[in-house]
Amino acid sequence: MKFFIDTGHLEDIRKAVELGMADGVTTNPSLLAKETGISFHKQIALICEMVKGPVSAEVVATDYEGMLKQGRELAKIAPNVTVKLPLTPDGIRACGVLSKEGVMVNATLCFSAAQAILAAKAGATFVSPFVGRMDDVGEHGMGLIREIVDIYRNYEWKTQVLVASIRHVTHVIEAAHIGAHVATMPFKVLEQMYKHPLTTLGLEQFLADWNKSGL
């Protein structure tokens, strides 16, 4: 299972790289809007230098021609740029064209199995179901992940299931149980994964015993 860091914040990316846990990065317009004082393309270029794996950068055009134009411009920034396109008819159409051109595409804002099937048929590299946002409205986000993974297993589609909108550690564990290819998470969720009170207490006890022993 790959771990992507869901942020546009360079310091969080640097820390995740240092931990050896950043297989890639996902951004979106809302995340990048928080990073002031630097242009969108420059920020993506900096992230692509820090992380070797796929870095998702989203188009803001909503029409087919505009998405193609912006997607091609983004793809020129670095070889690891993954163009993020929304799961609309225009987005899926642009996904088919860019994928055939050899550009990695992340089909985003996926909320149904039907949309995930369309993304796979259009040759997307990743499909991003948003589990947290589904949970927010009383739907079962991880149920959708299971459904998509089951469907994809019936075919030889190469599209990877990228679990997005992760809010807590349980989402990551459930995604791993199901066999999703990628989990993208805020840095704070990655940090939480390391924490267990018995590890902290156990280590304190070992060190206290060692220091008392005089060895």
Q: Are 3 and 189 in contact (CB under 8 A)?
A: no
Residue 180 gets which letter from DSSP?
-
By CB under 6 A, tell whether 43 contacts ligand E4P. Answer: no
Among residue numbers 95 through 124, which ones bind ligand E4P (CB under 6 A)?
A: 108
Q: Are 25 and 4 in contact (CB under 8 A)?
A: yes
By CB under 6 A, tell whether 48 contacts ligand E4P. Answer: no
Q: Is 93 exposed, middle or buried (0-12, 13-18, 19+ CB in 10 A)?
A: middle
- Residue 204 belongs to what H/E stretch? helix 197-213
Q: Which of 85, 67, 77, 3 is nearest to 47 (CA)?
A: 77
Q: Which is nearer to ligand E4P, 69 or 133 (CB)?
A: 133
By CB under 6 A, tell whether 168 contacts ligand E4P. Answer: no
Judge whether 84 counts as a catalytic residue: yes
104 Cβ neighbours under 8 A, 6+ residues apart: 54, 81, 82, 83, 125, 126
* From 97-105, 129-137, 144-152, 192-200, span contacting ligand E4P (CB under 6 A): 129-137
By CB under 6 A, tell whether 23 contacts ligand E4P. Answer: no
Hey, is 75 helix, strand or coil? helix
Q: How far is the CB of 27 from ligand E4P (least distance, A)?
A: 7
Residue 46 in tokens: 């900096």
Q: How far is the CB of 110 from ligand E4P (least distance, A)?
A: 10
By CB under 6 A, tell whether 125 contacts ligand E4P. Answer: no
* From 95-103, 128-136, 153-161, 188-196, span contacting ligand E4P (CB under 6 A): 128-136
Catalytic sites, residue numbers: 84
- Give the residues lining the site for ligand E4P (CB under 6 A): 6, 26, 28, 108, 128, 130, 132-133, 164-165, 184
